[in-house]
Chains A and B, each alone.
Chain A
Amino acid sequence: MITDATSILPVLVFDSEHTWEDLQTLAEPHLDNDGLSRLKRALEKTAETVFIERHYIDKDYRDTFSSYHSKKFHTADARCIRLHFFNCNVTKKILSTPDNAKTKGYLDHSDGYLGYSVIRPTRPNSIGRTLLQPQSRPEVAGWLSLCTETVTVQGTILKVTGFPFISQDGDATVCAHATLWMLMRYFSNRYSIYPEIYPVQIGNLTRDYSVGRMLPAPGLYMWQMAEALRLEKFASMIYSKREFKDSFEHLMYTYIESGIPIIASFKTHVVVLFGHQSNYNITNPYDSDSPFVFSSSFCHALVGNDDNGVPYQLLRMSSDKLTENGCELMRGSQSQHSMSDIQDFVVPLPEKVFLTAENARKLITTILNDKIFGYAKHSNKLLKEKSIILRLFLTTGKSLKKEIHNRKQMGHKKVSKAYRELPLPHFIWVCELSLPDLYPENVLGEVIWDATRNPYEPNGFLAVHYPEKLIVDWGSALNHAPSFREFELDNSTEYPIFEHNLKEILQ
């Protein structure tokens, strides 16, 4: 059914007589065949109603239009079309007098809102700023970094939670700009410390590190992308697969598990990765001489946005490790990509994270094996196990404390009380300790390491928590010389894993 086809806000409800092809008619001339195909691939399983918001002025397109498109002899339209998707039958009347909007003040995914997509008049890629709920793609499941935006349609407030997506326009922006935009928009949506930034501004961040013209955009080198992030308050780090052969995939996973999306490059293309899918039933991670099995071993795919595709695509760990579930995979021009095709990645670390993931891994495993502080001395429960699962991630001291009450007092009331009292730095590395029959739901302890420490300092750990013992460096916590306190823990229990960094999306 189509309502008000010639108005400023027509509504399309998919039924036996009206299909996605009608959407192209209603959104012409902006929506081209490629754009329609992408929207259909992304949303055809869930979208039932589409609001077509004509004459929409989009801040990101206006940025490229003012700096580039308006200077062309054949000038594109300055305005866009914005499409709003719902997974149920929504009329204009429901939108203008929604019951839920009366009580909550807005409509969101619980009311059927799936998100929006701005359609630009650009060719070859018309899909502009887009934010869709991951639930709009039912085949996408896993743990994802997400942010929330609020938009309005004719005065009604709509809320959507997802990961930002935009396609390159091939003129003012290419894949490198689109990927930086997606990453930076996630951060500016989620954390007020990061400013909102627009596509041409992103290119201009590399102005002092470029040779030749800036527009049309010729592409960016990987180090220019890292530099652009540095200029926007990130302490970006670059990792090359050739230099981190054995730990490359573990490092990507660890940063993603920390809620920090990464920029990953293939031979000539770049994407943003912000989530993971894991299979905890595989047995091969345990076939190792080391008792330590990192949670990254269970990861079989990363979730990301490729600006040449649709939001929420999978990047498989390797071609033989994923059961097909209908989710769209990242593709190169010739074939499907896998994680083995990634050549390097950039992680935009927060400014106050001085200790990197590879440093933290080495330091924490060394402490766990130490003859004074290690588990062999303090934990019979862990010592008798063949495998100990380690889950390493970065978080804030504030987040750790906020989650204590949701995590069964961290297995023992003494631990809960000690952690609440312990002064913590802004950022900490946490390495949770678990066992195969408890993971991924529960853990038995953790090591907490100060992320602002120099890696060569041996006393960077603030707490080591085993099922039977808690060791706290109370001296370092008070900015004094190390002074350790040891507490016996009787009858401690397992407790839930830390979940604050990522949101679990169920299939």
Chain B
Amino acid sequence: MSQNLELQLSGQSKAFVTKKEYQEFTERFQKEVKSELDKQQKARLRSEDRAKRHLLSE
């Protein structure tokens, strides 16, 4: 599916960001979220570990 399709909307769409702006955005975004996402991943792994010792029987 390589056709050059376009969103059919009345009113024009503008090219929104330049290549350079987008590059800056991706770097800024990744830097902003990485430490928190890493922390979340470790917390999930530790949660799984805790669940191995949690017996439910009542």
Instruction: Give A contacts to B, CB under 8 Å.
Output: 174-176, 218-223, 225-226, 237-240, 242-244, 265, 268-270, 308, 333, 343-344, 346, 356, 358-359, 362-363, 366-367, 370, 372-373, 414, 417-418, 421-422, 455-456, 458-459, 471-472, 474, 478-479, 482, 484-488
Known: A221-B54, A268-B55, A485-B16. A474 touches B7 (CB 8 A): yes
Known: A373-B25, A458-B29. A221 touches B36 (CB 8 A): no
Question: Are A223 and B48 within 8 A (Cβ)?
Answer: yes
Question: Are A268 and B57 within 8 A (Cβ)?
Answer: yes
Query: With a CB–CB cut-off of 8 A, which chain B residues contact A359?
Result: 37, 40
In the assembled complex, the CB of A312 is this many whole angstroms from the nearest CB of chain B, namely: 20
Known: A219-B56, A240-B50, A478-B1. A372 touches B11 (CB 8 A): no
Cα A243 to Cα B40 with chains together (Å): 9
From A238, A455, A478, A486, name the one whose CB has the most chain B CB atoms within 10 angstroms. Answer: A238
Question: Are B16 and A484 within 8 A (Cβ)?
Answer: yes
* Interface residue tally for chain B (C-beta within 8 Å): 40
Question: Are A485 and B33 within 8 A (Cβ)?
Answer: no
In the assembled complex, the CB of B9 is this many whole angstroms from the nearest CB of chain A, namely: 6
In the assembled complex, the CB of B1 is this many whole angstroms from the nearest CB of chain A, namely: 7
Cα A223 to Cα B56 with chains together (Å): 10
Cα A244 to Cα B37 with chains together (Å): 13
Contact with A along B9-46 (1 / 0, CB 8 A): 11101111100011001101110111011001001101
Question: Are B33 and A417 within 8 A (Cβ)?
Answer: no
Question: Are B40 and A362 within 8 A (Cβ)?
Answer: yes
Q: List 29 A-B contacts (CB under 8 A).
A: A174-B56, A176-B56, A219-B55, A220-B57, A221-B51, A221-B54, A221-B56, A222-B51, A222-B56, A223-B48, A223-B54, A237-B44, A240-B46, A243-B43, A244-B43, A265-B56, A346-B51, A356-B40, A370-B25, A414-B9, A417-B9, A418-B7, A422-B7, A458-B29, A472-B7, A474-B6, A478-B1, A478-B5, A484-B17
Question: Are B47 and A239 within 8 A (Cβ)?
Answer: yes
Query: With a CB–CB cut-off of 8 A, which chain B residues contact A366?
Result: 29, 32-33
In the assembled complex, the CB of B26 is this many whole angstroms from the nearest CB of chain A, namely: 5
Question: Are B47 and A244 within 8 A (Cβ)?
Answer: yes
In the assembled complex, the CB of A57 is this many whole angstroms from the nearest CB of chain B, namely: 29
Query: With a CB–CB cut-off of 8 A, which chain A residues contact B56?
Result: 174-176, 219-222, 225, 265, 268-270
Query: With a CB–CB cut-off of 8 A, which chain A residues contact B46?
Result: 240, 242-243
Question: Are A362 and B13 within 8 A (Cβ)?
Answer: no
Cα A418 to Cα B8 with chains together (Å): 8
Cα A479 to Cα B43 with chains together (Å): 32
Cα A414 to Cα B9 with chains together (Å): 7
> Which chain A residue shows the least CB distance to B21?
A372
Query: With a CB–CB cut-off of 8 A, which chain B residues contact A367?
Result: 29
Question: Are B22 and A482 within 8 A (Cβ)?
Answer: yes
In the assembled complex, the CB of A131 is this many whole angstroms from the nearest CB of chain B, namely: 24
A174 CB contact (under 8 Å) in B21, B52, B57 = B57
Query: With a CB–CB cut-off of 8 A, which chain B residues contact A358?
Result: 40
Known: A359-B40, A458-B25. A219 touches B57 (CB 8 A): yes
Query: With a CB–CB cut-off of 8 A, which chain B residues contact A479?
Result: 1
Question: Are B51 and A226 within 8 A (Cβ)?
Answer: yes
> Which chain A residue shows the least CB distance to B8?
A421
Given contacts A223-B52, A478-B5, A486-B14, 16 further A-B contacts (CB under 8 A): A219-B58, A221-B54, A222-B56, A243-B46, A243-B50, A268-B55, A268-B56, A268-B58, A359-B40, A362-B40, A367-B29, A458-B26, A459-B26, A482-B22, A485-B7, A486-B16
In the assembled complex, the CB of A243 is this many whole angstroms from the nearest CB of chain B, namely: 4
B16 CB contact (under 8 Å) in A270, A308, A356, A471 = A471
Query: With a CB–CB cut-off of 8 A, which chain B residues contact A237?
Result: 44
Cα A487 to Cα B12 with chains together (Å): 7
Question: Are B44 and A221 within 8 A (Cβ)?
Answer: no
Query: With a CB–CB cut-off of 8 A, which chain A residues contact B7?
Result: 418, 421-422, 472, 474, 485
In the assembled complex, the CB of A346 is this many whole angstroms from the nearest CB of chain B, namely: 8
A221 CB contact (under 8 Å) in B14, B22, B26, B55 = B55
Question: Are A372 and B36 within 8 A (Cβ)?
Answer: no
Query: With a CB–CB cut-off of 8 A, which chain B residues contact A356?
Result: 40, 44
Cα A487 to Cα B33 with chains together (Å): 27
Query: With a CB–CB cut-off of 8 A, which chain A residues contact B1?
Result: 478-479
In the assembled complex, the CB of A387 is this many whole angstroms from the nearest CB of chain B, namely: 22
Query: With a CB–CB cut-off of 8 A, which chain B residues contact A268?
Result: 55-58
In the assembled complex, the CB of A298 is this many whole angstroms from the nearest CB of chain B, namely: 24
Cα A356 to Cα B40 with chains together (Å): 10
Cα A459 to Cα B21 with chains together (Å): 13
Cα A118 to Cα B14 with chains together (Å): 62
Known: A362-B37, A366-B29, A459-B26. A222 touches B54 (CB 8 A): yes
Query: With a CB–CB cut-off of 8 A, which chain B residues contact A482?
Result: 22
Question: Are B47 and A243 within 8 A (Cβ)?
Answer: yes
